[in-house]
Amino acid sequence: MRRAGSIAASVLRAAASTIRPGITTLELDRTVGSLIEAQGAISAFLGYRNFPSNCCISVNEGVVHGIGSERRLQYGDLVKLDVGVRYRGFVGDVAMTVAVGGCSPAAQKLMDVTVGSLYLGIGKARAGNKVSDVSRAIQNHVEANGFSVVREFVGHGVGRSVHEEPQIPNYVDERYNCRLVPGLTIAIEPMVNVGAPGVEILKDGWTVVTKDRQLSAHYEHTVLVTDGDPEILTRDEGSPLY
């Protein structure tokens, strides 16, 4: 899991560095595929439930699960890049939001708050705590800053499969509130909207967008619950991505 996480993080960092005005999301997806292959891993997303891309690329009002296409990125776009790799049977899952060339102060605040909520949630991923402790930390920070949390898609356990139990909502839901134990590996991934929390799926059957078409941001780390501090597995050469 550590090696899978490290590969995922290094691929994400390298791919994010290629994002610029004029590049297509299909070119970005192919770059991710090549980077994963060069690391001796395979995409954990390509073919998963018939998903057609190497990674998820969601732009502006796109929340998650966007598919690479001929769309050309423009200055100021917010690109959500989500990378999953499989290495020796284990999965690393990581995501970040990249502003193409720069962005407005409002968009920057959205990204900053989303990152902040992620790390607050990670801080609660401790043995003995419950899932709701993670969820509450994320939700409280997001809503205190005037944004909303997506309900329909949540974080999750991750290990030999991309999605495992337990579910890790970014809002408090007592239906998903097991106690965290040492050795559990989870993907914590706040999806945060400028406007209302509602989302819908486009006709391609995959791309999730905000119903009101306002901006969304998404960050994710794969995290190991230990007897002490939580360990972020998706770090590139020991350094945080963001």
Domain boundaries, the chain: 2-232
CATH superfamily, with its number, for domain 2-232: Creatinase/methionine aminopeptidase superfamily (3.90.230.10)
Predicted TM-score (pTM) of the model is: 0.96
CA distance 39 to 45: 16
Question: Which tokens in the block code for residue 107?
Answer: 């968009």
Q: How many CB atoms lie within 10 A of CB 178?
A: 14
Walk along the chain (242 residues) and give the pLDDT tens digit of each residue.
Answer: 999 999 999 999 999 999 999 999 999 999 999 999 999 999 999 999 999 999 999 999 999 999 999 999 999 999 999 999 999 999 999 999 999 999 999 999 999 999 999 999 999 999 999 999 999 999 999 999 999 999 999 999 999 999 999 999 999 999 999 999 999 999 999 999 999 999 999 999 999 999 999 999 999 999 999 999 999 999 877 666 77
- Are 215 and 110 spatial neighbours (Cβ–Cβ below 8 Å)? yes
Residue listed under structure tokens 């791919």: 15
- Cis check for the bond before 182: say yes or no (omega within 30 of 0): no
